[in-house]
Amino acid sequence: MAKILVVTSGKGGVGKTTTSAAIGTGLALRGHKTAIVDFDVGLRNLDLIMGCERRVVYDFINVINGDATLTQALIKDKRLENLYVLAASQTRDKDALNIEGVEKVINELKENFEYVICDSPAGIEKGAHLAMYFADEAIVVTNPEVSSVRDSDRMLGLLASKSRRAENGEEPIKEHLLLTRYNPERVTKGEMLGVEDVEEILSIRLLGVIPESQAVLKASNQGIPVILDEQSDAGQAYSDAVDRLLGKEIAHRFLDVKKPGFLQRLFGGRE
């Protein structure tokens, strides 16, 4: 049975699309056939982050309106066998989405994929609502910062009341916290909320902590999901998060300040 995963946050700019691309790619890397769907109609960016922006012919709205089949609209990733992207429409707005259309597309995706990742737009309006409505699990992307934490809590409230599972009285959506742009140095100095603080406030299961990393910009510049940069801290942290999503127990990394080694302290320079 296919799993529908929504990547959501409420607040914009916290790393939803980066996360959708990384988690989707990570699942495909582990052999699971995965589709990543951009719900940000009018402001699509998943295609850029995935590096397939020049191969978009048909989009989500075309499929909903019957202008194209799902097979025509799905963009196969050039790097991985099991990975597909469904782009959002850039010329329409969120009103082009409707619940029946989204349900039809999701159901068709469920037949052909093991995982469907719904990349939610920011906000709590139609696009965000439809992105989470059919979800089985949710990854709530949060920055260690007051407005992001508050918006995440609001989103958790909506996941618990405005989803299909909630409306049908089924088992609730499984919620995961992904803390991104984490800076252990600033946490140590008392300038930034720590993992435990955010966990305590939101009280949901921690899926992973992604450190603030230069690798993320480098990856998005090139259209490569950051998880494919295996040398980078962010890439490794996403990789751990994917393993945890699949049920593995892995200790959290990158939570503490890196202590420079003896030689490094002596000669300076970067690792």
Q: Which stretch binds another protein (CB under 8 A): 80-88, 169-177, 188-196, 204-212?
A: 188-196
Q: Judged by CB under 8 A, does residue 146 bind another protein?
A: yes
Task: State how far the Cα of 147 lies from the Cα of 153, in Å rounded to an integer.
Answer: 10
193 touches another protein by CB under 8 A: yes
Among 169, 190, 261, 269, binds another protein (CB under 8 A): 190
Chain position carrying tokens 């899926």: 207
The residues in 201-240 that bind another protein, with binding defined as CB under 8 A, are 201-202
> Residue ranges of the alpha helices (H) in 134-232?
146-161, 164-167, 184-188, 195-202, 214-222
Q: Which two tokens stand for residue 100?
A: 């029946």
Report the residue from 192, 195, 210, 234 that binds another protein according to the rule CB under 8 A.
192
Considering the rule CB under 8 A, would residue 173 count as an interface residue with another protein? no
Distance separating alpha carbons of residues 192 and 178, to the nearest angstrom? 16
Residue 153 found at the interface with another protein (CB under 8 A): yes
Q: Is 197 or 256 the residue whose CB approaches another protein more closely?
A: 197
**Dihedrals phi, psi of 258, to nearest 5 degrees:** -70, 125
The yes or no reply on residue 253 touching another protein (CB under 8 A) is no
Q: Which stretch binds another protein (CB under 8 A): 48-56, 70-78, 125-133, 150-158?
A: 150-158
Alpha helices by DSSP H, 59-145: 60-64, 70-73, 99-112, 126-133
250 touches another protein (CB under 8 A): no
257 binds another protein (CB under 8 A): no
Decide whether 130 or 192 has the Cβ nearer to another protein. Answer: 192
- Is 150 a binding residue for another protein by CB under 8 A? The answer is yes
Q: How far is the CB of 144 from another protein (least distance, A)?
A: 8
Residues in binding contact with another protein, number by CB under 8 A: 19
Q: How far is the CB of 198 from another protein (least distance, A)?
A: 9
Question: By C-beta, is 76 or 205 nearer to another protein?
Answer: 205
Query: Is residue 125 close enough to count as binding another protein by CB under 8 A?
Result: no
Residue 224: helix, strand or coil by DSSP? coil
162 contributes a contact to another protein by CB under 8 A:
no
Give the Cα separation of 101 and 94 in Å (integer): 13
Taking the mean position of all CA atoms in its chain, how far away is CA 153? 17
Distance of CA 246 to the CA centre of its chain: 15
185 lines the binding site for another protein (CB under 8 A): no
Beta strand pairing call for 83-86 and 137-142: unpaired
Q: What is the rounded CA–CA span in Å between residue 9 and residue 178? A: 10
Q: Dihedral of the CA atoms 3, 113, 96, 52 (nearest 10)?
A: 120
Residues that bind another protein (CB under 8 A): 145-146, 149-150, 153-154, 157, 161, 187, 189-194, 197, 200-202
